[in-house]
Structure formats: C-alpha cells, structure tokens
Amino acid sequence: MAVQTKIAEYMATGRRKTAVARVRLALGVGKMIINGRDVDRYFNSEALTRYIQQPFQVADAVKRYDVLANVHGGGLASQAGALRHGISRALVEADPDLKAALKEAGCLTRDSRMKERKKAGQPGARKRFQFSKR
C-alpha cells in the first residue's frame, strides 16, 4: 500500500480597498503564480514585485515557499497590497511566531481606504449643489 505524504499548504485571504487576493502558500522554491501568470508578467513593475515580497524578507523565508494566488478587484497597486496582506496572513498560519515581526513591519494591516459612495441627488460624494437663499 502506497503511503501518502501531505504537503504543507497554507491558505489565506488578503484585502486592500476593493481588491481581494486568495493566497495558497506551499513549501517550494519561491515561484509565484498570480491569476495563472508569473508575478513579473502580472505586475510589470519592479516596485510592486518588491512590495509583494516584503513579508518573505521580514520572515527570512525568501525562497522557501511557492505562492499560487487569485486576485480580483481594484487596480494593480491595490491588488499588490491585497496579495502582500494575504501572503503575510498565510505565513502567520504557517508559523505563528512570525506574527510580531510581520505586524511591526505593517504587513498584517488591511488598508481599508475605499472610494466614498456618491450620495443620491448630489453631484459627488462630498460636493453639494450651491446653496441659494432665494
């Protein structure tokens, strides 16, 4: 009878503004696949790629995990923030001792700033029609 070995896999959800990232972290060689594409092809900005890899540098696990993620909503920068948040939460699930370091680096904070909704009967979220006394 064949012995099955369970691969350590950690899942987490990261959010920023309206972007949501579902992250799957598995032991590996540091490969990152986002929405079926390599991280460098999906985020064609060096700054965003470094931003995403920050949790691994804080945790000293740069080439230890493979990342498979689905990201939707928001823009590219918002998706990068959601992915960073999801990776951080998955790393904490993998090793709870990393929580303090990741929290201090600001990786576990969800950036909740969203566009304010437009109010009914008005031209914008905050703008009002000009007041007229008569």
43 inside domain: yes
pLDDT at residue 24 tops 70: yes
41 inside domain: yes
Q: For the chain, how many structural domains are there in total? A: 1
Lowest mean pLDDT among 3-12, 75-84, 121-130: 3-12
129 inside domain: no
Given this model, what pLDDT does residue 62 score? 87
134 inside domain: no
**Secondary element (H or E) of residue 79:** helix 76-94
Model pLDDT for residues 49-61, shown as the tens digit of each residue: 999 999 999 999 8
46 inside domain: yes
Q: How far apart are CA 27 and CA 29, in angstroms?
A: 7
31 inside domain: yes
Q: 94: domain CATH number?
A: 3.30.230.10
Residues in CB range of 115: below 8 A, 6 or more apart: 17, 18, 125
Structural domain for 20, as ranges: 9-103
Model pLDDT for residues 73-115, shown as the tens digit of each residue: 999 999 999 999 999 999 999 999 999 999 999 999 998 899 8
